[in-house]
Amino acid sequence: MDMKAYIYLDNAATTPLDKRVLEAMLPYLTDVFGNADSPHAVGRKAMNAVDEARDTVAALIGARKNEIYFTSGGTESDNFAVLGGARAKRKEDRTKVILSAIEHHAVLFAGETLAKEGFDVVYLPVDESGRISLERLKTAVDDNTALVGIMAVNNETGVIQPVKEAAELAHAVGALFFTDAVQAAPHMPIRVKEWNVDLLSFSAHKFYGAKGVGALYIKNGVKVDKLVGGGEQERGMRGGTLNVANIVALATAYKLAREEMSQTEEKLRKLSDLFLREISVLSGITPNGERANALASVLNLRIEGVENTALLYKMDLQGVGFAAGSACASASVKPSHVLTAMGLTEEQAKQSVRISFGKNNTEEEVVRAARQFVQTVETLRQY
Ligand SMILES: *Cc1c(COP(=O)(O)O)cnc(C)c1O
């Protein structure tokens, strides 16, 4: 398969590295190889780059520099926040954790772990629009609640969650509020003060940065148990030699994403509208989740009478790649937990695909992919 000709429509799973990001990180993979914690000149040079990256990220999300912790990615940040936040809060005898039912598997895993430790973990349902109900959250929170975790944007549907309002409800009972902003970060400005969050995670490879690097914002004064111990890096909160090149990549990619956000979003809106227009000749296509309240870049579509795995397989052979549910769950044949939480039957969930556009996609690619999609769906429906 010629990867240059392949049409990649799975940008919610990961994005290609931006060339400018590669340029910025390269010196730290070669000449500036120092351990950022070494006090000598080689180490100091590496630490200067980390400091600068931390400054950049903090300024862009409205945080202080000492509120940013670099990690190995979204998964670690999510685990760090949920496990660390809940365990620290247990010291105040709080044992309840509330998570939305549509969280990423990294958060759901942390929830399962906490349940084994004796926490009462409650999963907040969503309605068919794909949003959590603030009313339900209001009833669920109490004096025993340690932590509430609601993602900013869902990775399968692109549906935006009412984070600011949810944070207010969590704080009203003295609980911590965490948001997984991994899917939000590429598409909307993160503002930790305005959103009033205690903990917030994001990951570089979703906005054209390197894979294997993320960040966790921990509000000053909020106590969190560490997850990865050992060295005294990250103010004693996350051990391990700093991945300087990746940290530089994260900051560079995030800065570019923010500077170019409005143009990028405009382009992504155009591309998804174009795709929908091109496939409108098909009947029996239903968007999952309320489009008016979702990212422009993600289309989650149910195709009546067509099994998603068959469609994916045939489209891949034609050189078009997208997803059934999320990438993390795609090895399994289980229906998406996000779609079933929204009230779809297992059969309906297995008829659903996620198409996610990126800044490198062209209109020409989108038209070609859409026409191939129409043809493939029509063929599959004939069986
Ligand atoms: C991709 C993703 C993650 C995991 O991030 P990694 O850096 O791949 O570990 C977590 N949450 C959401 C919403 C995601 O989309």
Q: Cite the active site residues.
A: 328
Residues with CB under 6 A from ligand 1: 73-75, 78, 104, 106, 151, 155, 180, 182-183, 203, 205-206, 214
User: Count H helices, E strands: the chain?
Assistant: 13, 12
Neighbours of 332 (CB within 10 A): 9
Residue nearest to atom 8 of ligand 1 (CA): 74
The residue type of 120 is D
| CATH 3.90.1150.10 intervals, the chain | 7-16+261-381
- In Å, what is the CA distance from 176 to each residue of 112, 119, 145, 166? 18, 15, 8, 11
Tell me how far apart the alpha carbons of residues 2 and 351 are, in angstroms, rounded to a whole number. 28
| CATH 3.40.640.10 intervals, the chain | 19-259
The distance of Cα 256 from the centroid of its chain, to the nearest Å, equals 18
Which ligand 1 atom lies nearest to the CA of residue 212? 7
DSSP label at residue 159: B
Domain 19-259: CATH class, spelled out? alpha beta
Distance 120 CA to ligand 1 centre (A): 25
Domain 7-16+261-381: CATH class, spelled out? alpha beta
Provide the residue-wise pLDDT of the chain in tens; the chain has 383 residues. Answer: 677 799 999 999 999 999 999 999 999 999 999 999 999 999 999 999 999 999 999 999 999 999 999 999 999 999 999 999 999 999 999 999 999 999 999 999 999 999 999 999 999 999 999 999 999 999 999 999 999 999 999 999 999 999 999 999 999 999 999 999 999 999 999 999 999 999 999 999 999 999 999 999 999 999 999 999 999 999 999 999 999 999 999 999 999 999 999 999 999 999 999 999 999 999 999 999 999 999 999 999 999 999 999 999 999 999 999 999 655 555 556 899 999 999 999 999 999 999 999 999 999 999 999 999 999 999 999 97
Say if residues 122 and 94 touch (Cβ distance below 8 Å). Answer: no
